[in-house]
Chains A and B, each alone.
Chain A
Amino acid sequence: MTFFFEVLINGLLMGIMYSLVALGFALIYKASDVFNMAQGAMSLLAGLALVGFLEMSFPLWLALLCTVGIMIILAYSTVFFVLKPLVNRPPLMLFMATFGIMYLLEGIGQSIWGTDAKGLNIGIPEISFEIRGILMNTFDLTFAGVAALLVASLVWFFQKTRTGRALRAVSDDHEAALSVGIPLLKAWAVTWVIAGIVATVAGVAWGSRLGVQFSLGYIAFKALPVLIIGGIDSIPGAIIAGLIVGAGETLAEVFIGPYVGGGIQTFFPYLIALLVLYFKPYGLFGKEIIERV
């Protein structure tokens, strides 16, 4: 039983990491109806930039600040050079555009900072310890804390601040938001900045776990089932679904995996997603689109 809980808790901690990536998708989808394929590449870029700045022997806080600066530049240039000319196009076109951005980011990031896999160490100790026989380590717990803090501050930002209210208005109805004087492009830019910051946190978390390398962009594929389980446009959905997926896939890998040859982590989240979508076609917390004739 202890083993079960150990696996479960590790899975949940893993799930928080998935939530971080899914959160970026959800934020952008909610605000601008864009399904941002470049979210994984944004994490990769952030990771690469951070490693790059650390290698130039910047102190950690300055490196983080510079990385966030890059993400802000990225957000503004995406919105004004790519999304602005594509306003009012079908969602599929915007999706494709972000696909192009993904290639761009991977190419640019790797030509500036190199293609080698790099270790990222930001000085969080990785000490394993036991609580009631359950093995945990400080690194995972720290990131769980950071993620919780991030989500709490996002909730606060969206509920309490003026900008947050404007963003919620935009995500509810673009035209109504425009008509009460909310600058749409600015709102999108702010959303992309927030998504960029979330991507940075995800990039740091995954980068220090797996090393900063090309395949970091692929964590997006882990986040996609998380996204549809929670509902594409739901922030709490992303968190809860992340936990479900993390726990589910780790438990499946440990307890079912040995019987079928292992490696079922790659698709198990999608199975959960299909199951959930069968009962709730818009995810657990997604906005249901009601069509009337």
Chain B
Amino acid sequence: MFYRECGNFKDNYASDMAIFPIPLDRYGFIVMLILALIVIPLTATDYWISSIMIPFYCFALSAFGLNILAGYAGQISIGHAAFMAVGAYASLILYGRYGIPLLPSILGGGIVSAAVGTFFGLPALRIKGFYLAISTLASQFIIQWVIVHWRWVSGGVFGTVEAPDMQIFGWALDTPVRKYYLVLCIMILLITFGKNLVRGQLGRNWMAIRDIDYAAEIIGVNLYRDKLIAFAVSTFYAGIAGSLITFCYYGAANIEEFHVMVSFALIGMIIIGGLGTILGSFLGAGFFVLLPIAINQSLGAFMDVVPSDILSNIEAIIFGGLIVLFLIVEPYGMARLWHTIKDKMRLWPFPY
């Protein structure tokens, strides 16, 4: 009844190019923003903010970065956790060792990560499909090795760099709520930028490459340039996400936090969430971050003391089962479910 395109006449370019052309979407988005900006920081406990919402936002950002590469440009990368690590170490070194202010440091982490990512994207010029996917795994192992063995970066064998106290213009970011705002603001900024990027010329080029690459080349898309830009943008996002999660959640850059399984989990997020959608990045990140915690909590309700090995096994079983189930029930991801609901709403209550 309320979810209608009809009656919304577009009489200027601004409304034609609106991200949410349907009013109900716009209101829903504003409600979400209010929820994230005001309600959660005011009501949620420190535990919720610092160990659930912050990692959720960071992984959503990273998943969105991977989604640009895999969902829009069609190039799979199984090395994204390593690029998060690059961003994390780079920004920590810039901030902690050279005393560059916090925000430029985080940006610097993203830029270093983008530079490394573009380099590792070079094989994409020649190979594709699973061959490319596995050669991006190379970046994961090479970066891990370099970080551990290059003492200037990791400061020792264990590869751990402590995050110093954070300050912006002399204002200390010490409580979870302040860190939450830092993460949230950067995330909103970058997602808005990304959304506009994929709506524009570049995004359309990427989608053309994803759909049929040789056809894209024939209609004049510069395949090599755009693939490399996709790698650069995507790893830029990964780097920013990595530095944010290290500054605000882990507290220290440790290579173990950016293990190859994290890379696989990121791939999982965008596939379960929905390839080539922004909503999907969030839903997928939510699935992968919140579900293990939810399983953990609900099992704790049944048993007083759950042995940790049984817990992790049950977690793995439920998790794996749900991935398979989701793929069977909704192969195009949770974002597709939302689309189905929207299509139903459009016709409701008169389906014919």
A-to-B contact residues, CB < 8 Å: 35, 37, 82, 85-86, 89, 91-93, 95-97, 99-108, 110-111, 114-115, 221, 224-225, 227-228, 232, 260-261, 263-264, 266-267, 270-271, 273-274, 277-278, 281-283, 286, 291, 293
Pairwise interchain contact A91-B130, C-beta atoms closer than 8 A: yes
Ordered by A's residue number, 14 sampled pairs between the chains whose C-beta atoms are within 8 Å are A82-B328, A99-B264, A99-B323, A100-B321, A107-B318, A108-B317, A110-B309, A221-B260, A224-B137, A228-B134, A232-B130, A270-B135, A277-B127, A282-B131
Pairwise interchain contact A96-B328, C-beta atoms closer than 8 A: no
Pairwise interchain contact A224-B310, C-beta atoms closer than 8 A: no
Asked if B294 CB lies within 8 Å of chain A CBs, one says no
Task: List A contacts of B324 (CB < 8 A).
Answer: 82, 97, 100-101, 104
Pairwise interchain contact B134-A103, C-beta atoms closer than 8 A: no
Cα–Cα, bound, A4→B94 (Å): 44
Pairwise interchain contact A274-B138, C-beta atoms closer than 8 A: yes
Pairwise interchain contact A273-B142, C-beta atoms closer than 8 A: no
Asked if B1 CB lies within 8 Å of chain A CBs, one says no
Cα–Cα, bound, A111→B318 (Å): 12
Pairwise interchain contact A111-B314, C-beta atoms closer than 8 A: yes
Task: List B contacts of A283 (CB < 8 A).
Answer: 131
Pairwise interchain contact B314-A99, C-beta atoms closer than 8 A: no
B-to-A contact residues, CB < 8 Å: 76, 123, 126-127, 129-131, 134-135, 137-138, 141-142, 144-145, 148-149, 214-215, 218, 260, 264, 267-268, 271-272, 275, 309-310, 312-324, 327-328, 331
Task: List A contacts of B127 (CB < 8 A).
Answer: 277, 281
Interface of A is mostly: helix
Cα–Cα, bound, A291→B127 (Å): 13
Cα–Cα, bound, A267→B140 (Å): 9
Pairwise interchain contact A270-B320, C-beta atoms closer than 8 A: no
Closest B residue to A232 by CB, please name it.
B130
Task: List B contacts of A264 (CB < 8 A).
Answer: 145
Task: List A contacts of B130 (CB < 8 A).
Answer: 35, 91, 95, 228, 232
Cα–Cα, bound, A202→B328 (Å): 30
A89-B331 contact, Cβ under 8 Å, with A96-B271, A107-B315, A263-B149? yes
B138, B149, B309, B327: the one contacting A273 at CB < 8 Å is B138
Pairwise interchain contact B309-A115, C-beta atoms closer than 8 A: yes
Pairwise interchain contact A260-B149, C-beta atoms closer than 8 A: yes
Pairwise interchain contact A270-B76, C-beta atoms closer than 8 A: no
Closest A residue to B78 by CB, please name it.
A224
Cα–Cα, bound, A66→B310 (Å): 25
Pairwise interchain contact A111-B135, C-beta atoms closer than 8 A: no
Query: A48 → chain B, closest Cβ, in Å?
Result: 12
Cα–Cα, bound, A225→B136 (Å): 11
Q: A82-B328, A85-B328, A104-B320 are in contact. List 17 more A-B contacts (CB 8 A).
A: A89-B331, A93-B327, A93-B331, A100-B322, A107-B318, A107-B320, A225-B137, A228-B131, A228-B135, A232-B130, A266-B144, A267-B141, A273-B134, A274-B138, A277-B123, A281-B127, A282-B131
